[in-house]
Amino acid sequence: MTRPFKGRREDERLLSGRGRYAADWNFPGQLHAHFLRAERAHAGIVSIRTGEAARLPGVARIFTGEDMAGLKTPPPIVKYPGRGGTALKVPPRPVLARGRVRYVGEEVALVIAESPAVAQDAAELIEVEYRDLPVLVEPQDALAPGALELHAGIAGNLCFDYEYGDEAAAAAALAGAAHVTRLTLEAVRVAGSPMEPKACVALYDEAAERYELYSPSQGMSMLGHGLAAILGTERVRVHARDVGGGFGVRSDAYPEYCAALFAAKALGRPVKWVSTRGETLLSDHHGRGAQLSGELALDAAGRFLALRVHWTVSAGAYLSQPGPLINTLNPSTHAINAYRIPALYGRHRLALTNTTPTTAYRGAGRPNVSYLVERLVDEAARETGIERIELRRRNLIPKEAFPYKTPSGSTYDSGDPAGELDQALSYSQWSNFPERREQSSKRGKLRGIGCALFVEPSGAGASPQEQAAIRFGDSGNATLHVLAGPSGQGHETVFPEIVAEVLGLPAESITLKASDPEGPALMGGGTVGSRSVMSHGGALYATAQAVVKKGRDLAAKELEVAPADVDFLKGEYRVRGTDLAISFQEIARRYRGALDSLEGIPTPTAFPGGAHVAEVEIDPETGEIEVLRYVAVDDCGRVMSPVLVEGQLHGGIAQGAGQVFAEHCVYDRASGQLLTGSFMDYAMPRADSFAAPSLYDHPVPSPTNPLGAKGAGEAGTTGAVPALANAVIDALRALGIHHLDFPYTAARVWRAIARHD
C-alpha cells in the first residue's frame, strides 16, 4: 500500500504553526489556574491551610474540596449487569479531594491568580496535613481478603465482576481436551502522552446561563455530556478546533475542566489552565493495566475446542467514563479473535487501587485480546509440536463463514483471515526465514519471526444514530457539520472528499466544521473506536445523497421536466436522452438554503482484521532488540483515503511497539509514588528505533454502513503488540526462554538471557 505522499489539506496550517490548540485560546480579563496535587497515594486530609497563599499579591481565590462539594460524579458508560446480575459500583469522585486523597496527583486545591507564575507560587505556600493510610497499588493486593476498602460500600475493592460466554460448556471442553495450553501475561500500564498536554479555557456566560469550555477533545458530545453530568446542567458548550492527539485519553470530563468552569462562574472571569508534561503523565488517565490469563483447549488433531480467559484490571482510584466498558464489553465481542472456538467463557474483575484511573487507550481492550490469544496459539504450537502457521490455518474462520456468530453473541460482519495470512506470509518471505536466521546466528545474533492475526470491533457508540449536516452559502459551496473533529486523523481532507464524490464538486470548495457549537444540533458520538469514516463519513454520505435528491427536484423545476426524467452524474443534472442540463453548483447558488440537509444513519459496527508479521534480531551480549522487518496486511473495508489509512497504521504500529519495548508506568508498591513521571524515566518509541513497516490492503467491504468502510485507527496497535511479542519470544526460544513480561527493554532481555546461560 506504499504510495506517493499527497499532503492533507490541514498540513500547511498545522506545520506552519498556524494551528489553534487549547493553549492558543485567550480572552480579555482571563485569570490563570494552578492545581495543588496530592503527594501521597492514600491519606486522610487533616487540614488545608491557605491563608498565606491567599495573601500573595495577584491571587484572586483559592478553592478546596468543600467549595465544590455540590458537583457530581459522572456516570460511566456501562449500563449492563455483571456476574449474577450485579451492577457496576461507582465510587464518588470529587472534583477536588474531600477528606481523603486516593492517588498521587489527585487534585487537592485550585489557585486562581492573575498570572500562571503567581498561581504556582501561591500553590507552593498551601500547607496540607495528611494522615497516611495503607497503599494498594496492584489489583491483586486490593482484591486480597482483608484489604482496606478504598471507598465505603465497595466491598473488597471489587467495583465490577463481569462474565460472558458459557462457563459450563468451556469447563467441559477443557476437562475433555487432549491438550490445554495455559498462560498469564501482563498488559502493563502505559501513558497516552498526546503531543498536546491537557489544557482548557473556561468561561461562564451569565446572560445565557451557559458554560463554555475550550479544550482538547475527541468529540464534543462525549466531553459535553460528561461535563453536564458533573456540573448538573445541560447548558455546556465545548469548543475544539485543533487537537494534538487523542488516543482515547481525550474523551473524559477531567476534574480540572470542571473545577475551572466552576471557578469561572464564581469569579465572573475566564479561567485558563495549561498543564505541564509532568502533570499529563501523572494525572491523564492511563491505559491498559491488566493481568491476562488464558486457557486454550485443543483436540488430538489440533482443533480449538474452548477458550477460558480471566482479566484482573486496575481501574485506578476512581472510574473513568469509558474504562469499565473497554475492559469488559469491548473484549467480549471478539474474545475468540480470528478463530473458530465453539466454547468460550470470560470473567473480568475490575479492582479499585491507589493509582491514576485507567481509560481507553489506542485499541481500548483490543490489543489485550489479540496479545493473549496469539501468545496462547504460539505456545500451543510449541507444546503440541504442530507448526504455528499450520495450527492457525486449521482453526481460522473461513471467508465463506462470514457473517460469523461468535459464542459471546457478537457477529463478525465480513472478513477473510486466511487470505490476510497468506498475503502476510508471502510479503514477509516467511518461508525463507531459516536462511536469515542462520545468517544472524553466524554473527552471534538471535533472530526471531512472529505472526499475529486479529479481528476487532470498530464503530458503534452510545448513540443510536450518527447524524451529519450539509449547509450551502451564497457561492454554492458546502459546509459540513459533524460532532467530532480530528486529533490528527485528517478529517478536514477525507470528509470533504467523501461529499465531493457524491455532489460532483471540487473537494477544495467544501469546508468541514467539526465540533462546532454554533452548528446544528446533532446526535452521535466522538472520534473513538475507529469509527470516524464509518460513522461520521457514512452520515455525511447519506446526507449528501439527500442533498442530491433535493437538487433533482429543483433541477427538474429549472429544466421544466418531471424529476423522474432527470439523471445526476458527475455534478450535473441532465434530462435523460437530451443535452438539457444544469450543474449542481448552479442549483446550489440559486437555491442554497433549500438544499441544506441533516441526515443520520444507524450507528454501524464492523469488524476489521489483519495479519501482521514482525522480524527481530537480538544481541545477546547487550539485550538490544532491532526490528528488521514489519509487514502488515489489513482489512479496513473500503479505503477512502490510502494516505490517511497509512498514517493511522504507522502511528498504531509505533504505539504498539512502544508498549512492547519501552513504555511502562511504574508505581512504587509501598508508597504508591509514580516512578516514571517524566520522559527521563518514561521511555517513548523513537522514529529511528523501528523499521519502516510495509503495508498492504486486503479489503472486504462491510455491509453495515453506506461506505463499506471498517476501522483503521486501532488496527496497527492491535496487530503490533502480539506480532512483536511473538517475534521476540521466537528469537529467545533457542535459549529455552518461552515467556517474558513487557516491556522488552534491553536490560530485561539481557537479564533473561543471563539467567538461562
CB 211 within 8 A of CB 261: yes
List pLDDT tens digits, range 372-408. 999 999 999 999 999 999 999 999 999 999 999 999 9
Query: Which domains does the chain carry?
Result: 25-133+194-246+250-283 (3.90.1170.50), 135-193+284-395 (3.30.365.10), 413-459+606-757 (3.30.365.10), 465-603 (3.30.365.10)
SS3 category, 137: coil
CB 216 within 8 A of CB 198: yes
Query: Over 636-692, what HEC string results?
Result: CECCCCHHHHHHHHHHHHHHHHHHHHCCCCCECCCCCCECCCCCCCCCCCCHHHCCC
SS3 category, 370: helix
List Cβ neighbours of 33 (8 Å cut-off, separation of 6 or more): 110, 111, 112, 119, 256, 259, 260, 263, 271, 272, 273
List pLDDT tens digits, range 264-318. 999 999 999 999 999 999 999 999 999 999 999 999 999 999 999 999 999 999 9
* Residue entry with cell 499529563: 280
DSSP secondary-structure letter at 151?
S
pLDDT at 557: 94
The DSSP-derived string for 522-568 is: -----S-TT-IIIIIIHHHHHHHHHHHHHHHHHHHHHHTS-GGGEEE
List Cβ neighbours of 340 (8 Å cut-off, separation of 6 or more): 304, 395, 396, 397, 401
715-732 vs 642-661: helix axis angle to the nearest 10? 40
pLDDT at 530: 83
List Cβ neighbours of 357 (8 Å cut-off, separation of 6 or more): 285, 286, 315, 316, 317, 318, 319, 320, 323
Confidence class of residue 489 from pLDDT cuts 50, 70 and 90? confident
Q: What is the mean pLDDT of the segment spanning 260-264?
A: 98
Query: Over 190-217, what HEC string results?
Result: ECCCCCCCCEEEEEEECCCCEEEEECCC
List pLDDT tens digits, range 599-619. 999 988 999 999 999 999 999
CB 534 within 8 A of CB 604: yes
Query: The C-alpha cell of 237 is what?
Result: 458548550
List Cβ neighbours of 491 (8 Å cut-off, separation of 6 or more): 482, 485, 512, 514, 527, 532, 536
Amino acid letter, 173:
A
List pLDDT tens digits, range 167-222. 999 999 999 999 999 999 999 999 999 999 999 999 999 999 999 999 998 877 78
Pairing of strands 609-618, 625-635: antiparallel
Pairing of strands 199-205, 343-352: unpaired
Answer whether residue 5 shows pLDDT above 70: no
List pLDDT tens digits, range 402-425. 999 999 999 999 999 999 999 999
List pLDDT tens digits, range 24-57. 999 999 999 999 999 999 999 999 999 999 999 9
DSSP secondary-structure letter at 91?
-
List pLDDT tens digits, range 637-659. 999 989 889 999 999 999 999 99
Q: Specify burial of residue 79 (Cβ count, 10 A radius: 0-12, 13-18, 19+).
A: exposed
DSSP secondary-structure letter at 66?
G
CA 218 – CA 23 distance, rounded (Å): 16
Query: The C-alpha cell of 639 is what?
Result: 479505503
SS3 category, 312: strand
Range list of β-strands (E), 102-196? 107-113, 127-132, 158-165, 179-187
Query: The C-alpha cell of 450 is what?
Result: 512472529
CA 286 – CA 607 distance, rounded (Å): 25
| Cβ neighbours around 237 below 10 Å, total | 17
List pLDDT tens digits, range 526-544. 788 788 899 999 999 999 9
- Plot region of 222 (φ>0 → left; ψ -120 to 50 → alpha; else → beta): alpha
CA 135 – CA 620 distance, rounded (Å): 38
CB 263 within 8 A of CB 61: yes
How far from the centroid of its chain's Cα atoms is residue 312's Cα?
20
Amino acid letter, 243:
V
DSSP secondary-structure letter at 511?
E
List pLDDT tens digits, range 576-595. 999 999 999 999 999 988 99
pLDDT at 6: 57
Which pTM value belongs to this model? 0.95
Terminal Cα distance for the chain, rounded: 43
